[in-house]
Copies of this chain bind each other. A is one copy, B any other.
Amino acid sequence: MPAPLTITAFDTYDLRFPTSEHLDGSDAMNPDPDYSAAYVVLHTNADGLRGFGMTFTIGRGNELCVQAIISIASLLVDQPLEALMRRPVDLYRRLTADSQLRWVGPEKGVIHLAAAAVLNAVWDLWARLRGQPLWRLVCGMTPEEFVASVDFRYLADALTPAQALELLRAQVAGREARVERLLEAGYPSYTTSAGWLGYSDDALREKCRDLKARGWSHFKIKVGRDLGDDLRRSGVLRREMGPDARMMIDANQVWDVPQAIEWIGHLARFDPWFVEEPTHPDDVLGHAAIARAIAPLRVATGEMCHNRIMFKQFMQAGAMQVCQLDSCRLGGMSEVLAVLLLAARFGVPVCPHAGGVGLCEYVQHLSMIDFVCVSGTLEGRVAEYSDHLHEHLHDPVVMERGCYMPPRAPGYGVRFTDAALGRFEHPAAGG
C-alpha cells in the first residue's frame, strides 16, 4: 500500500504589486492601493503535487496575513489530505476555531483572511489531485456531499441542512445542461476597469469605448468623494455607454446613513442598476434603512462582509439586494457555499466581488457553482471583472465577449508564475 498523500510543508510569500503608481484601483476610501497577495504553497509527499492559495489585501497589512497563514497552515503539516477532506466542515472548524486564535477574530479580520488563503489552498490541492478545475469538482458532488462541506453553525434561524438539501436536490436535474451552457458561452461579467476614481474624464471615455468594443454591457463607476465630480463622471459614462447598458455606482463605504440616502438621490437620474457599499460594511441596519429609502434602486454589498453570520443578517434584514461575496474575506469554500445557499434561500442574486489580483481567477469558480448547483439561473447575475495583473497567474482567466470562459486547468486558479514570485516579493517578509 503506498503512503497516503500528506501535506509535508508549506511556503509563504508576501507579494505586492505597485498599482498605486497608476491609480488603478483607486476609490473614495482606498486612494492608493498596492494590490497584494498573502500567498501559500502547500507541499506534499507526491512528486510535483502542490496546492496554491492566497488572500487579497491592498498593501500594508499583507505581512500580518502572511504571519497568520504561518500560524494556521502549521496545523496542516503531516496531515493526510483524504482525512482532511472527508468532512470539509471539520477542516473549516479546525482552522477557524482554534481555541486561542479565535479570540483575535472570531471569524473576521486578519485571521479569517489568512484562514481563507489556507483553506483555498487545500481545496486547490484536492482539485489538482482529482485532476479537475474546482468548479467541476464541486459540481460533481451529490447534494449530500455538498451539504457535508458547508458550515451551518449559527445559521439555524435562517437555513438548516435539511432545507439546503431540498434546495440542492431541486437543481440536480438541470446541472448537466447548465454545465454545457457554461462551456459554450461562459459566465457573464461586469467590469470596473473604466471607473476608478483616479482616472481623468478622457481616460474614462477611452476605457469605456475599449471595453464596449470587447463585449461588456455592465459598467461600474466609483463615487463618493465629490458630488459635482460624481454627477459629471456619471454623465460621461452614461453617454458613452448608451441607455441600454447597465451602470452601477460604488461608494466604498464613505457615507453615513442619512448622507447616503441624500447623495444617492442625486445620482438616481443616471439609473444605476445597483448602489454598492453606501456605508460601513458592518452596518446591517444602516444598509436596510438605505435600501428602504432608495427602493426600487438596489443596495449591493459583500466584499467586506466577513462571515456567513453577517450575510445571514444582511439577507434577513432586507439590507442586501445583490450579494457580492468575496473569495478571500470568507473562510474558504465551506463558508462560501453557506452564503450561496443563504442567497438562494432569500432570493438574492450573487455577483461576486473581484478585481484586485487573483480574485477573478477565484470567483469564476464560485459563480459557476452557484449557477450549476445552487441558484440554477443567470438572471440578474454578473461576476465582477477587472483587467489588471492576470499576467502574473499561471492559469489566467479567459474572457470572451465579456464572459468568463470556464477554467479547464485543475485546481482553484491562483498559482502565481515563478517570474511574479521573483519580481514582486516584498522585501520585509520571508518566502
Q: CB within 8 Å of B: which residues of A?
A: 29-34, 57-65, 67-68, 71, 98-113, 153-157, 253, 256-259, 279-286, 289, 304, 306-307, 309-310, 312-313, 316-317
Q: Measured between alpha carbons, how far is A67 from B106 in the docked complex, in Å?
A: 18
B residues near A280, Cβ cutoff 8 Å: 106-107, 154, 309
Tell me how far the C-beta of A69 lies from the nearest C-beta in chain B, rounded to whole angstroms.
11
B residues near A60, Cβ cutoff 8 Å: 71, 98, 100-101
Q: Measured between alpha carbons, how far is A98 from B60 in the docked complex, in Å?
A: 9
Q: Measured between alpha carbons, how far is A285 from B108 in the docked complex, in Å?
A: 18
Task: Count copies of this chain in the complex.
Answer: 2
List 11 other contacts, CB 8 Å, given A30-B100, A106-B280.
Answer: A29-B102, A30-B102, A32-B100, A33-B99, A33-B100, A34-B100, A61-B68, A65-B104, A68-B110, A154-B283, A283-B312
> A64 to B61, Cβ gap below 8 A?
no
Tell me how far the C-beta of A339 lies from the nearest C-beta in chain B, rounded to whole angstroms.
14
The residue from B58, B102, B307 contacting A100, defined by CB atoms under 8 A apart: B58
B residues near A284, Cβ cutoff 8 Å: 284-285, 313
Q: Measured between alpha carbons, how far is A99 from B285 in the docked complex, in Å?
A: 25
> A61 to B65, Cβ gap below 8 A?
no
The residue from B62, B282, B317 contacting A307, defined by CB atoms under 8 A apart: B282
Would you list 17 pairs from A and B whose C-beta atoms are within 8 A, ordered by A residue? A29-B102, A57-B103, A60-B101, A61-B103, A64-B64, A65-B104, A68-B110, A106-B253, A108-B282, A109-B110, A154-B256, A154-B286, A156-B259, A280-B309, A282-B310, A284-B313, A285-B313
* A66 closest partner in B (C-beta): B67
Q: Measured between alpha carbons, how far is A253 from B105 in the docked complex, in Å?
A: 13
B residues near A34, Cβ cutoff 8 Å: 100
Q: Measured between alpha carbons, how far is A104 from B30 in the docked complex, in Å?
A: 12
Tell me how far the C-beta of A261 lies from the nearest C-beta in chain B, rounded to whole angstroms.
10
B residues near A289, Cβ cutoff 8 Å: 157
B residues near A257, Cβ cutoff 8 Å: 154, 156-157
Q: A99-B31, A100-B60, A285-B284 are in contact. Are A111 and B109 (CB under 8 A)?
A: yes
> B100 to A109, Cβ gap below 8 A?
no
> B29 to A157, Cβ gap below 8 A?
no
Tell me how far the C-beta of A308 lies from the nearest C-beta in chain B, rounded to whole angstroms.
10
The residue from B61, B62, B108, B155 contacting A108, defined by CB atoms under 8 A apart: B108
> B304 to A106, Cβ gap below 8 A?
yes
B residues near A111, Cβ cutoff 8 Å: 61, 64, 109-110
B residues near A258, Cβ cutoff 8 Å: 156-157
B residues near A65, Cβ cutoff 8 Å: 104
Tell me how far the C-beta of A9 lies from the nearest C-beta in chain B, rounded to whole angstroms.
19
> A256 to B157, Cβ gap below 8 A?
yes
> A306 to B108, Cβ gap below 8 A?
yes
Tell me how far the C-beta of A112 lies from the nearest C-beta in chain B, rounded to whole angstroms.
7
Tell me how far the C-beta of A240 lies from the nearest C-beta in chain B, rounded to whole angstroms.
29
* A314 closest partner in B (C-beta): B285
Chain A to chain B: the 7 pairs with minimum beta-carbon distance, closest first: A109-B109, A59-B100, A61-B104, A110-B110, A156-B256, A157-B257, A60-B100
Tell me how far the C-beta of A51 lies from the nearest C-beta in chain B, rounded to whole angstroms.
23
* A156 closest partner in B (C-beta): B256
Q: Measured between alpha carbons, how far is A64 from B104 in the docked complex, in Å?
A: 9
Tell me how far the C-beta of A398 lies from the nearest C-beta in chain B, rounded to whole angstroms.
28
> A64 to B99, Cβ gap below 8 A?
no
B residues near A57, Cβ cutoff 8 Å: 100, 103-104
> B105 to A109, Cβ gap below 8 A?
yes
Tell me how far the C-beta of A113 lies from the nearest C-beta in chain B, rounded to whole angstroms.
6
B residues near A307, Cβ cutoff 8 Å: 282
* A286 closest partner in B (C-beta): B157
Q: Measured between alpha carbons, how far is A253 from B99 in the docked complex, in Å?
A: 13
> A113 to B108, Cβ gap below 8 A?
no
The residue from B106, B110, B282 contacting A64, defined by CB atoms under 8 A apart: B110
* A33 closest partner in B (C-beta): B100
